[in-house]
Amino acid sequence: MNLGRISATFLGLLCGVCLSGAEADLILHNGKVVTVDGRFSIRQAVAVKGGRIAAVGDDRSVLAERGPATRVIDLMGRTVLPGLIDSHVHALSAGLSEFREKLPPLDSFAALQDFIRAQARKTPPGEWIVIPRTFPTRLKEMRMPTRRDLDAGTGHPVMFDASYTVVVNSAALKKCGITRATPNPPRGEIVKDASGEPNGILKNASSLLKGLRESAGFTEDERLRALGEMLERYRAAGLTAVSDRAVTAEDIALYQKLKARGPLPVRAVLTWRLDASRPAEALAQQIRGAGYTTGSGDDWLKFGAFKVTLDGGMTIGTAYQRIPYGEFGEQLYGQTNRDDRGLLFIPPEKLVSIFRAARDQGWQLTSHCQGGGAVDVFLDALETLDRERPIAPSRSHLMHASFQSPEAIARARRLGVAADVQTPWLYHDGPALERVFGAGGMRYFIPLRSYIDVGVPVAGGSDHMIGHDKNRAVNPYNPFLQMWIAIERKTAAGKALNPEERVTREEALKMHTVWAAWMQFAEKERGSIEPGKLADLVVIDRDYLTVPEAEIRHIEPVMTVVGGRPFATR
C-alpha cells in the first residue's frame, strides 16, 4: 500500500515567497478551520513549524508566517478538522485478516459454506479452515450456525470465529476428541443438542481445539508489513491516532520495530491486556515486573490502559447481562437455557486484586465489560479501590459497556469513570439485539446523550478487527460513519434506535478529538487545533458542520497531516 507524500500540485500548493527569513514549514489557508478549542472557534488558516501548530487565525496573519521554504496550500474553501482519533482498534488482526486474500461478505449460511468449499480446495487435508470473525446478529438467518451448517461436504476441521464463542464442524469435534462425555472447561460450555451430543457451539471453550495456529503461519516480516499497512489505511481514513486495545508482549515488540524504521503512519496508544485466567498472584507479579506503565513512551508510541476481559460478547450471547437473554436468545445464540445471563470470566474479588496491583503500578484501568451485569461488577471493583484512594485521576474507563442503566451512569460520574463506546454496533447489531431484549431492555443501549448530560467523558471507537475496507469491515473504522451513527442513531434497517440518545455534530466530533485525546492523557498535545499542539489535521471534501446530516457518513478526507507532514488520501 502506497499512500505517498502529498504531491507538489495537490490543492494548489504554492511556492511561498516572503521578504523575511523562513518561518513556518507548512501553511494551510483559505479554508474553514474547525479548531474544537474551548470556544469551538472557526478560523481561516493554520501554520505549522517543527511538527507543531505555530499559528491559527485569519489568512493575513497566518500567511505572515511564511518564508522561502514554506509549503503553502490553498484549501479552496475546504474544511479542516483536528486529526481524528479512534479509541478502539485491533490493528494487527485487522491487517492480517486480508493480507493474503480479500474476504468475501460472510452474511449468510450459504456464504459461509461457499467460503468453506473455496478454502477446502487449497487447504491440505487435516488442516483447519477458519471462517474470519463474524456474528450471528449479522447473518440473514439470525441464528448461530451449528456443526452441520459448517460441514459443507468437506472433511477439513472448520472453525467459525465469533469471538468469545466459536462453532466447529463434525470433523473438528472428531479431531479434538470432543464428545458428549467431554467435561466443560472452567467458565465455558460445550453446547449440546436435544440428544445430548455436542452441536459444535463452544462458549469460552476454544482451549479444547487442537492444532489451530492463530497466526496462520505469518512471518515476522509479514506481520510488520500488515501492521504498517493497516496504520496507513487508518491515516487515509482521516485518523491521526488510534488506541490499540489488546496488545501482548509480541505485539508491543512489533510496534517498537515498526517505529524504529521511521515515523509511524499514525500515533498509537497501546492497551496492555493480560490473560486473567491465571492465578491472581502470578498476574500481580507480571504487572509489577513490566517495564512500562500508563504514559511510558513518546508522542508516537506510548502505553495507555491496563486491560482484562470481564465478560463475553453481546453479539454471541455471552455478555454478562442484568436480565436473561430469553426465548429469542435461544435461537440467535444457540443457547440451551433461556434464563442464561451470559458469562463472567473473572470473580469480583479477583478483579479487585488484579486492578489493585495495576493501579499501584500507575496504570489507567479498563476492562472489556459488554453486558450490564459486567458493567456493575467493573464499577464495584473501582468503587472498592476508590475507597482506598480516588480513582478519578487515573482516567479509568468502561470499555464498550453497551448495556447501561441510569444508576450505573450516575455511579460512573461519581467515580470519575469515562466510557469508550462503539457506535457501529448500534448500526449493525441493533435490530437483532432489539428482538432479544425488546425496547425496554435496549433503552440504555450505547446511551451517548445520557453520558454527556451527566458529565461522563465519552470517546468514540470502532473495535475494528477484521477487514481492510473502512466501510465494509466487520466493525467499520470510518470515523465519519461513526459520527453519523452517533448523530442519527440509525440502524442498518433504517430505524432510529432510541433517538432521545442522539448527540449534536459538535459532540460527535469531540468524541473523536478532544474527548478521545483526554482518555489518552493527550489533551494538551492533540485533539484540537491550537498553537503549541502537535500538527495533526485532516482536510475533508465537504463541510462537516453544515452538510445535511445524511451526508456526514459520506464525507471523505482529502488530505491528512500527521506531525506536520501532509499526505494525500486519494
Helix (H, G, I), strand (E, B) or coil at 490: strand
- pLDDT tens digits for 269-303? 999 999 999 999 999 999 999 999 999 999 999 99
Domain covering 13-82+532-568 in this structure, CATH number: 2.30.40.10
| Max Cα distance, the chain (Å) | 88
Q: How far apart are CA 63 and CA 75, in angstroms?
A: 13
Note the pLDDT tens digit of each residue in 401-430.
999 999 999 999 999 999 999 999 999 999
How high is the pLDDT of residue 258? 98
Please give the pLDDT value at position 22.
Answer: 56
Q: Report pLDDT digits (tens) over 106-123.
A: 999 999 999 999 999 999
With the C-alpha atoms ordered 465, 466, 471, 472, is the resulting torsion angle positive or negative?
A: negative
Give residue 13's pLDDT. 36
pLDDT tens per residue across span 524-553: 999 999 999 999 999 999 999 999 999 999
Tell me the pLDDT band of 215, cut-offs 50, 70 and 90.
low
Per-residue pLDDT, 153: 84
What CATH code would you report for 100-208? Answer: 3.10.310.70
Where along the chain do the CATH 3.10.310.70 domains lie? 100-208
> pLDDT at residue 4 above 60?
no
Reduced to 3 states (helix: H, G, I; strand: E, B; else coil), residue 17 is coil
**Could you give the CA distance from residue 231 to residue 96 in angstroms, rounded to a whole number?**
12
Can you give the pLDDT at residue 12? Answer: 36
How far apart are alpha carbons 498 and 203 in whole angstroms? 31
Q: Which fold has domain 87-91+218-310+345-519?
A: TIM Barrel (3.20.20)
Per-residue three-class SS string for 458-484: EEECCCECCCCCCCCCCCCCCHHHHHH
**What is d(CA 368, CA 310) in angstroms, rounded to the nearest whole number?**
6
- pLDDT of residue 334 exceeding 90, the answer is no
pTM of the model: 0.92
All 3 cell numbers of residue 378?
467493573
Mean pLDDT of the 511-518 span: 98
Q: What confidence tens digit (pLDDT) does each residue in 221-240 have?
A: 999 999 999 999 999 999 99
Q: What is the pLDDT confidence band of residue 335, given thresholds at 50, 70 and 90?
A: confident
Those residues whose C-beta lies under 8 Å from the C-beta of residue 553, and which sit 6 or more positions away, are 478, 480, 481, 484, 485
- What are the φ and ψ backbone dihedral angles of 513, each rounded to 5 degrees? -135, -95
The confidence score (pLDDT) of residue 330 equals 83
For 166-210, write each residue's pLDDT tens digit.
999 999 999 999 999 999 998 889 999 989 999 999 998 989 999
Closest CA to 397 of 547, 229, 521: 521
Q: What is the mean pLDDT of residues 20-44?
A: 91
Residue-level pLDDT at 216: 61
Q: Which residues of the chain are in CATH 2.30.40.10 domains? A: 13-82+532-568
- Distance (Å, whole) CA 3 – CA 239: 14
Confidence at residue 214, expressed as pLDDT on a 0 to 100 scale: 60
Note the pLDDT tens digit of each residue in 345-400. 999 999 999 999 999 999 999 999 999 999 999 999 999 999 999 999 999 999 99
> Which percentage of the chain shows pLDDT scores above 90?
89
Q: How far are the Cα atoms of 47, 228, 296, 351, 353 from residue 358, in angstroms, in the given order? A: 41, 30, 14, 11, 9
The overall average pLDDT reported for the chain is 93
Question: CA 337: distance to chain centroid?
Answer: 31
Lowest mean pLDDT among 250-264, 318-332, 554-568: 318-332
pLDDT-derived band at 17 (thresholds 50, 70, 90) equals: very low
